[in-house]
Chain A
Amino acid sequence: MTDKNQCPPSLASWLLKIIASGRDYDYAIGDLTETYEYIAASEGEKRARRWFWKEVMKSLPGFVKSAVYRRKAMILNYLKIAWRNILRNKLFALINTLGLAVGMACFILITVWIQDELNFDKFHANRDDLYLLTIIHPDDVMDPNVPYALAPRLADEFPEIIHYTRIYEYGNIATCSFKYQPDEGLPVRFYENNVNLVDSSFFSMFSFRFMHGSPETALQNPNSVVISDKIATKYFGHDNPLGKVLTFNNRQDLVVSGVIHVPSNSSIQLDFTVLLPNRLENDWNWRDPSYVLLDKNASLPDFREKIAGSVQKYSSYQNAEKFRADVLPLTQVYLNFGRRTYVYIFSVIAFFILLIACINYMNLATASSGNRSREVGLRKVMGARRSELIQQFLGESIFLSALALVLSLIMVKIGLPLINTLTSKQLTFSLLHGHSMYLFLFGLIFAVGLISGVYPAFFLSSSRPADSLKTSLNIRSRRSAFRLVSVVGQFVISVLLIICTAVVFRQLNYIQKRPLGLSTDHIIKVQINPTLLNRLDSYKDKLLQNPRILYVTAGQEVPYNEDYKTSGVEWDGKDPELTPMVRYTVSHFDYIETFDMELVDGRSFKQNSPADINNYVINEEAVRYMGLEEPVGKRLRFWGNNGTIIGVVKNYHHVPLHREIMPHVFTINPRNFRWLRYVFIKIAPENIPDTLRYVKETSESYAPDYPYGYSFLDQGIGNLYQAEQRLGKIFSYFAFLAIFISCLGIFGLASFTAEKRTKEIGIRKVLGAPVSSIVLLLSREFSRWILLANIIAWPLAGFAMHKWLQNFAYRTGLNPFVFIFAGVLSFIIAALPISYQSLKAALADPVDSLRYE
């Protein structure tokens, strides 16, 4: 055994030494060490270490108590002095507490948010054994949607899979309406989007809480439906929903067999859950999420290796060997698809804002050290040890940070609802509860107190009594290096946040203003239901009888967010090795005209021309992708249907601007009309209410058995960029807070400098200096600092935002104007407190400041 191993844990001993300091406690530490060595010899190093830590933790309260008791008089004196100092420098105390409180409030709020993000999907009892099946594409992109046949095949071959379930997100691709007919009164009818078909093992894999019914019996029957508690209230009010009948699309009766509660921090959100019919066992084309429950004892790396080649083994894909099957732990699913970056970004921001507040304390405490140096000197003369002085100053900063915490808790209380609306979450502070909450809060007090207090404590206690008692002059110069670094640091962070906010908003503005290549003005969408679908032609004709209705068409999804992809397409001269991937639109006639898409070649589908049923229109990107020279007239085979390309539309943005425009095929084959979900109606800008009424009446007369719902198309565009809008807002709040705290600090510093130089200013004024030159004199130093901060922050922000912009296929450049704007803004913001203080000093009557000389 080496010497090092025989020593008790060094961190714990250090902690003990700090708390139980003073030579009196050497023997207690000795006792601990002796017992530690005894345990280490008899029971092993590991147990001894654990014992030592436990012992130290348990002993601390006792040591602190007796240390406080022994030095009661001294501590009372420290408190008195601390209180007097607060009273003497009310402004500094206010700035410090306010800054620390705001910083802590930010930190607590962000911690609560991060806690919630990290807790996603943790409520399942099987959370550690649940995995999402994924397919890794040749370009290393992880696809969470896998073919329906994959999970059953794997389960047959590998005994490690205890259960599997596929989630057929039916509501995303087809119209779903539900009707509940109470015993008396009108039926309750709604369209629903969140309708999922799952395998029977679903509820034994996931632990959703059943408010009614039980997980074992809920999905035994193909006519059973499990609904969420929200849906239960929506349809049945306060009645017991069990056994009630919901009619699906007016043709199938489903009996409610269970009501579940789906927490907001679940990545699987369920409104309606129905048993998945078995007919998809061999389907390699449809893709949706599949989950597996693995045996606890199975080795994950082995399993991953075993399944990797299964796409090649089972499927008939071309190039199947390039697709790799894999699994992703359920607990990482949420973070993995986009959230992790945000967790990192906000952790860093939380830390920085707290740091800014701590720096304020350091600056103000060291800047005002002149006021304390006599006290320190006198204490030293009276025999105070340096360690005692350090303790005193650390105690002061911890005291102040405790005060700030109380204030910050009030701010958190006010801020939580704000954060909740911003993130549409239901965060509560009780996310941390019991012991861990107290541990967190006390940890925060001590961490903030120590970080902000350590430097001032060492600095203040270092002054030599002989110097400090003689005169309080000439101690200004030697600490300016530290202050330079810290103030510049603060402003670097602030400028960084300003630039980030500006770039996020510019990018948002850019993607929202960028022409989509199609028109969404005055277009409404009306949900299609089976009845309407059967009479679509006559419905269209009826609508078009109104002169204010210009075009009527139908499609699957709004054209600016349409992401249906297929590989079922072939064309003349296609490379047989290629597994094509194209987007497609199943549409009705007049689709291209309704959205005013521009044709660059050929023609659009001709109204009611039977020949056009097998013809296709493609976009420019598809022409490029397929490598066609003269696209019009070329043959194209789509889902097994031979036809001809008759036209080419100019590229338009069919997916959000994060992503490139992809090859796209339009078909109007009535065979696919069952996938139509919306009627799109272009109306004239005049007399809109009348037109809307006409549409409503027509729709209701055509499909009286279904609910009617409509919305304007352009309203939906904003929702595409909700995540970015939130990010922009949150950034701007944090930027504001960071600037606020930094300004508090610089305000304090400026006032301190002005105060220090009162006499100098007085003399200068007496000698005839104008006010302007004095203001300039006082602000020059700060201006230099802020300039330096900008020079440091610019490349950092440029790098970070360049990375962020890579998320977008279409993006603004980094305009130098943004940087200059941030620079100017930081100058103006900093100039306000500084010039206020300098003006006050410059305008003061020199008679007052020079009176004592």
Chain B
Amino acid sequence: MKFLSRQEELLLLSIWKLGRDAYGVTIRQHVARMSGKYWSIGAVYDVLDRLTRKGLVSTMTSEPVKARGGKGKRYYGITKQGFKALEEVRSLEKKIWLGLPEAAPEKK
């Protein structure tokens, strides 16, 4: 199986961390905070759609909320496959970092 992309990994971790409160707005905020970059809604949903298609996250739609212009929220949660995919990237990271000198050479 293909490894997760960095963006997918970031989003998956955000969803995991947010737990029961993971929907578009919160995921975007969290991801922006973690990566220090600006994420547009479109960019977030592009990745979320991919994750959904791969079956790494599950979704649940809430009842319409008045404050949101009468639209519902879609909550995301990680599936078993999602956890597995995350685990894979982590072990990969470990493996490729292993054996490198402790301190990275400092730039002058």
Give residues in A with beta carbon < 8 Å to B: 7-8, 25-35, 37, 55, 58-63, 65-66, 69-70
Interface residues on chain B, number (Cβ under 8 Å): 20
Q: Which residues of B contact A27 (CB under 8 A)?
A: 23-24, 61, 71-74
Pick the contact of A33 from B42, B61, B68 — CB < 8 Å?
Answer: B68
Given A27-B71, A33-B71, A58-B40: A66 in contact with B25 (beta carbons within 8 A)? no
Identity of the chain B residue whose Cβ is nearest the Cβ of A27 in the assembled complex: B74
* Neighbour of B45 across the interface among A8, A34, A35, A63, CB < 8 A: A63
Q: Is the CB of B69 within 8 A of A62?
A: no
Q: How far is the CA of A508 from the CA of B68 in the complex (A)?
A: 66
- What's the nearest-Cβ distance from chain A to residue B47, in Å? 9
User: Which A residues touch B40, using CB under 8 A?
Assistant: 55, 58-59, 62
Q: Which of B43, B49, B68 meets A30, CB within 8 Å?
A: B68
Checking A8, A35, A65 against B46 with a beta-carbon cut-off of 8 angstroms, the contacting residue is A65
Contact present for B69 and A8 (CB under 8 Å): yes
Residues B49 and A26 in contact, CB atoms below 8 Å apart: no
Min Cβ gap A85→B in Å is 31
A5 CB, nearest partner CB in chain B, Å: 13
Residues of B within 8 A of A32 (CB): 41
Q: Which residues of B contact A58 (CB under 8 A)?
A: 40, 42-43
**In the bound complex, do residue A33 and residue B46 qualify as a contact, i.e. CB atoms below 8 Å apart?**
no
Closest to A37 in B: B67
**Which B residues are in CB contact (< 8 Å) with A59?**
40-43, 45
Q: Using an 8 Å CB-CB cutoff, how does the interface string of B69-90 with A read, 1 for contact, 0 for none?
A: 1011110000000000000000
Q: Closest CB of chain B to A67's CB: distance in Å?
A: 10
Min CB distance A117 to B, Å, is: 38
**B69, A29: Cβ atoms under 8 Å?**
yes
Please name the residue on chain A nearest to B39 by beta carbon: A58
26 residue pairs A–B, Cβ–Cβ below 8 Å:
A8-B69, A25-B45, A27-B61, A27-B72, A27-B73, A28-B24, A28-B42, A29-B69, A30-B73, A31-B25, A31-B28, A31-B68, A33-B68, A34-B25, A35-B28, A58-B42, A59-B41, A59-B43, A62-B40, A62-B43, A62-B45, A62-B46, A63-B42, A66-B45, A69-B49, A70-B49
A27-B24, A27-B61, A66-B49 are known contacts. Are A34 and B42 too (CB-CB below 8 A)? Answer: no
Q: Is the beta-carbon distance between A61 and B67 smaller than 8 angstroms?
A: no
Contact B72 A30 (CB under 8 A): yes
How far apart are A338's CB and chain B's nearest CB, in angstroms?
Answer: 48
Q: Output the least CB separation between A518 and chain B (Å).
A: 74
A61 CB contacts on chain B under 8 angstroms: 42
In the assembly, what is the distance between CA of A66 and CA of B52, in Å? 12
Q: Contacts of A35 on B, CB cut-off 8 Å?
A: 25, 28, 41
B68 near A34: Cβ-Cβ < 8 Å: yes
1/0 contact trace for B25-44 toward A, CB 8 Å? 10010000000000011110
Residues of A within 8 A of B42 (CB): 28, 58-63
Residue B1 at the chain A interface, CB threshold 8 Å = no
A66, B72: Cβ atoms closer than 8 Å: no
Chain A contacts for B96, CB-based, 8 A: none
The smallest C-beta distance from A662 to any residue of chain B, in angstroms, reads 67
Q: A35-B25, A65-B46 in contact; A28/B68 too (CB < 8 A)?
A: no
Which residues from A are CB-within-8-Å of B73?
27, 30-31
Given contacts A33-B71, A58-B40, A62-B40, 14 further A-B pairs with CB under 8 A are A26-B71, A27-B72, A28-B42, A29-B69, A29-B71, A30-B68, A30-B71, A30-B72, A31-B23, A31-B41, A34-B25, A65-B46, A66-B46, A70-B49
B103 at the interface (CB under 8 A from A): no
A535 to chain B, nearest CB (A): 82
What are the residues of chain A within 8 A of B72 when measuring CB–CB? 26-27, 30
- Decide: B45 and A28 in contact? CB cutoff 8 A: yes
Cβ of B65 within 8 Å of any chain A Cβ, yes or no, is yes
Find chain A residues with CB under 8 A from B46 CB. Answer: 62, 65-66
Q: Which residues of A contact B71 (CB under 8 A)?
A: 26-27, 29-30, 33
Residues of B within 8 A of A28 (CB): 24, 41-42, 45
* Complexed CA–CA distance, A25 and B24 (Å): 11
CA distance A484 to B45 in the complex (A): 47
What is the bound-complex CA distance between A31 and B45, given in angstroms? Answer: 11
Q: How far is the CA of A26 from the CA of B74 in the complex (A)?
A: 9
A542 to B46, CA, bound (A): 92
A55 contacts across to B, CB distance below 8 A:
40-41
Restricting to B52-73, which residues have a CB under 8 Å from any CB of A?
61, 65, 67-69, 71-73
A357 to B80, CA, bound (A): 57
Are A7 and B41 in touch, CB under 8 angstroms?
no
A660, B67: Cα distance in complex, Å? 71
Least distance between B75 CB and chain A CB atoms (Å): 9
Q: How far is the CA of A384 from the CA of B55 in the complex (A)?
A: 27
- Expressed in whole angstroms, the minimum distance between the Cβ of B44 and any Cβ of chain A is 8
Most chain B CB within 10 A, of A27, A29, A55, A66, is at A27
A26 to B65, CA, bound (A): 12
CB A70 to nearest CB in B, in angstroms, measures: 8
A30 to B42, CA, bound (A): 13
Which of B42, B49, B67, B73 has the largest count of A CB atoms less than 10 A from its CB? B42
